[in-house]
């Protein structure tokens, strides 16, 4: 892909659909955009979200929508203000629409576990393998499960961010949850936002970062922590949950999980262990 005249161009390899939304402001002022805001749509699918973001009654839009169906739809040219941030504030600035590109990723958001199902806010049922278990960066958010983003969505967002950094000199990538923490919880913990920032802005540093050394000791920081036979959320528990403050030995790390020895051996979510 490349950017031509403020539009994504799939270079006849990737299909980028241009569907101009009437919901937009004027051109960005000089030196802007300098920020990218990442969102999830909280919708059922990309087609419905695109149609909502093109409906003048909603007064909302984004520059692009990245579908779970591998679709890319551009609604607003990158040189034009879109309406995605709403009331927002970060780093001493307010009203991020005037500074930022908005990328919406097709994802329904949090999931509620009900029996074997994981249900979205609109009642859509998702499989165990679609559920991501993770704590939100904003501590008041209590949801535990989130719909996974597809690998293609994560890669495509990264590619578009790289193009925007090169074209506009973007300095900052933020989640909607960071610029409007009292109102918004997107993109949520299932989106690897910190990893993306690290990759795009600190790549020279990350190679110097020391790798974690094992074994090492750790302490359970959750009120109680499930310990499982494998590093997946639906794996069987090997023992009763470990209470807060349990001291354990961390043996290795895999995909956000630690293999630990706490008297019994098993896998626990890394984010709930201070190691
Ligand atoms: Zn949002």
Whole-number Å distance, alpha carbon 130 to ligand 1 midpoint, is: 21
- Please report which residue ranges of the chain form alpha helices under DSSP H: 46-53, 151-168, 176-179, 193-201, 203-206
What's the CA gap between 204 and 198, in Å, rounded? 9
pLDDT in tens, 84-95: 999 999 999 999
Name the region of 65 (left: φ>0; alpha: ψ -120 to 50; beta: rest).
Answer: beta
pLDDT band at 208 (very low <50, low <70, confident <90, very high): low
Residues 99/34, Cβ–Cβ less than 8 Å:
yes
The residue-averaged pLDDT of 231-259 equals 93
Beta bridge partners, 135, equal none
pLDDT in tens, 128-153: 999 999 999 999 999 999 999 999 99
Whole-number Å distance, alpha carbon 161 to ligand 1 midpoint, is: 17
pLDDT band at 191 (very low <50, low <70, confident <90, very high): very high
Residues 134/189, Cβ–Cβ less than 8 Å:
yes
Whole-number Å distance, alpha carbon 96 to ligand 1 midpoint, is: 12
The contacts of residue 182 (CB under 8 Å, 6+ apart) are: none
Determine the topology of domain 216-274 in CATH. Answer: SH3 type barrels. (2.30.30)
Task: Place domain 2-108+148-206 in its CATH homologous superfamily.
Answer: Peptidoglycan recognition protein-like (3.40.80.10)
pLDDT band at 154 (very low <50, low <70, confident <90, very high): very high
Block residue for tokens 């499989």: 127
Whole-number Å distance, alpha carbon 159 to ligand 1 midpoint, is: 20
Question: Has 178 been annotated as catalytic?
Answer: no
Q: Angle at Cα 168 formed by Cα 163 and Cα 79, nearest 5°?
A: 100
DSSP string computed for 158-177: HHHHHHHHHHH---EEEEHH
What's the CA gap between 212 and 216, in Å, rounded? 9
pLDDT in tens, 34-75: 999 999 999 999 999 999 999 999 999 999 999 999 999 999
Whole-number Å distance, alpha carbon 101 to ligand 1 midpoint, is: 12
pLDDT band at 12 (very low <50, low <70, confident <90, very high): confident
- Burial of residue 157 (number of CB atoms within 10 Å: 0-12, 13-18, 19+): buried
Model pTM?
0.76
Fold agreement between 2-108+148-206 and 216-274: no
Q: Write down the pLDDT at residue 209.
A: 55
Domain boundaries, the chain: 2-108+148-206, 216-274
Signed CA dihedral, 185, 189, 191, 193: sign only? positive
Catalytic residue among 17, 104, 253, 271: 104
What's the CA gap between 110 and 144, in Å, rounded? 8
What's the CA gap between 46 and 115, in Å, rounded? 28
Whole-number Å distance, alpha carbon 73 to ligand 1 midpoint, is: 17
Query: Above 60 in pLDDT, residue 205?
Result: no
Whole-number Å distance, alpha carbon 184 to ligand 1 midpoint, is: 7
Q: Write down the pLDDT at residue 206.
A: 47
pLDDT band at 222 (very low <50, low <70, confident <90, very high): confident
């Amino acid at each position: 892909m490349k950017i031509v005249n403020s539009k994504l161009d799939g270079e006849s390899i990737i299909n980028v659909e241009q569907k101009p939304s009437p919901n937009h402001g004027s051109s960005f002022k000089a030196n802007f955009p300098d920020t990218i805001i990442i969102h999830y749509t909280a919708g059922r699918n990309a087609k419905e979200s695109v149609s909502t973001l093109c409906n003048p009654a909603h007064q909302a839009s984004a520059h692009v929508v990245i579908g779970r169906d591998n679709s890319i739809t551009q609604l607003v040219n990158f040189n034009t203000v879109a309406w995605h941030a709403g009331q927002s504030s970060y780093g001493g600035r307010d009203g991020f629409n005037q500074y930022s590109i908005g990328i919406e990723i097709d994802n329904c958001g949090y999931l509620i576990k009900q029996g074997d199902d994981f249900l979205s806010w609109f009642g859509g049922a998702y499989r165990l393998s679609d559920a991501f278990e993770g704590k939100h960066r904003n501590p008041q958010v209590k949801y535990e499960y989130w719909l996974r983003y597809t690998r293609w969505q994560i890669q495509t967002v990264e590619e578009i961010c790289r193009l925007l950094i090169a074209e506009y000199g973007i300095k900052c990538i933020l989640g909607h949850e960071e610029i409007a923490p009292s109102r918004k919880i997107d993109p949520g913990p299932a989106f690897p936002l910190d990893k993306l920032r690290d990759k795009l802005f600190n790549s020279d540093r990350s190679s110097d970062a020391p790798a974690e050394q094992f074994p090492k000791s750790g302490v359970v920081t959750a009120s109680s922590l499930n310990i499982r036979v494998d590093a997946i959320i639906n794996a069987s528990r090997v023992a009763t949950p470990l209470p807060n403050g349990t001291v354990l030995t961390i043996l290795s790390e895999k995909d956000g999980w630690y293999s630990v020895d706490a008297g019994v051996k098993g896998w626990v979510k890394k984010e709930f262990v201070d190691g």
